[in-house]
Amino acid sequence: MFIGAQVSLYPMTRDFVGVILSGLSALDPYRDALRIETDDISTLMVGAPGPLLDAIRDLFAGVAKGPAHVAMHVTLSRGCPGEPDDPSCACDVLSVAQSQPLAERQRLALAAVTAAPLSGVEIDLQFSLYVMGSGGHMDEIYGCIAFLKESGTFLRSKNFCTRLRGDAGPVFETLRQAFLRFGPAEGHVTIDLTASANSPSPR
């Protein structure tokens, strides 16, 4: 299976270069576990979802600690049939996901969010889950939405997406659980997300 993300960071400050470069240093602990390639538009990260999602969380939480308004756009994908299998992307959660009833997957997802450590950084995030190539895809999406509403990070539903708010730790853990526990284990699942912190717009 191939699991990866394209990540773009947008600091709203004159020192955007410094913010981006300092933010990328948060990826250093993950460079042995992930394939990381950065160009002038985005950073590609490929690898198992544990370090992958930890790296994305730490990247955004790190830059969000500063005073500047910062936004991040991420496209997450697992199981894309157009990408080669990559042994570094192995994930035990995916191998058992479809052997568990939906209610059990929801219970495990909620437990993981509850146990997520706090980062001390408040963020907003909205995302859309796309389950592709599955006849029962809406059952998986509705199951994910039900989990989100009980997660403690749910803010509201929007057209085409769901809005989350809270500490970056539980918010990104909610995202991780949505990505791993909903949709077929061997199917193609993607998430499109935008995160924001320190926005001057009223909350």
Q: Rounded to the nearest 10 degrees, what angle do helices 168-181 and 102-115 cross at?
A: 160
Confirm whether 73 is domain-assigned: yes
Look at residue 33 and tell me if it is in a domain: yes
Q: What is residue 59's predicted lDDT score, i.e. its pLDDT?
A: 96
**Residues in binding site for thiamine:** 9, 43
What pLDDT does residue 86 have?
Answer: 83
**CATH number, domain with residue 67:** 3.30.70.930
Instruction: Tell me if 82 is assigned to some domain.
Output: yes
Q: Write the DSSP symbol of residue 7.
A: E
Strand (E) or helix (H) holding 161: strand 161-167
Residue closest to 196 by CA, chosen among 130, 121, 116 = 121
The highest-confidence range among 22-26, 81-85, 155-159, by mean pLDDT, is 155-159
Q: Could you tell me if residue 202 is inside a domain?
A: no
Quote the number of domains for the chain: 1
Structure tokens at 17: 């270069």
Domain that holds residue 71: 3-197
Please tell me the pTM assigned to this model: 0.93
- Quick check: is 17 in a domain? yes
Look at residue 14 and tell me if it is in a domain: yes
161 within a domain of the structure (yes/no): yes
Alpha-carbon distance of 109 to 14, in angstroms, equals 39
Virtual CA dihedral for 130, 131, 133, 136, nearest 10 degrees? -130
Mean pLDDT, all residues of the chain: 91
Q: What are the DSSP calls for 175-201, one per residue?
A: HHHHHHHSS-TTSEEEEEEEEEES-SS
Instruction: Pick out the residues of the known binding site.
Output: 9, 43
The confidence score (pLDDT) of residue 1 equals: 86
CA distance 170 to 22: 23
Cα pseudo-dihedral 131, 137, 143, 147, rounded to 10 = 10
Q: Does the residue 45 lie in any domain?
A: yes
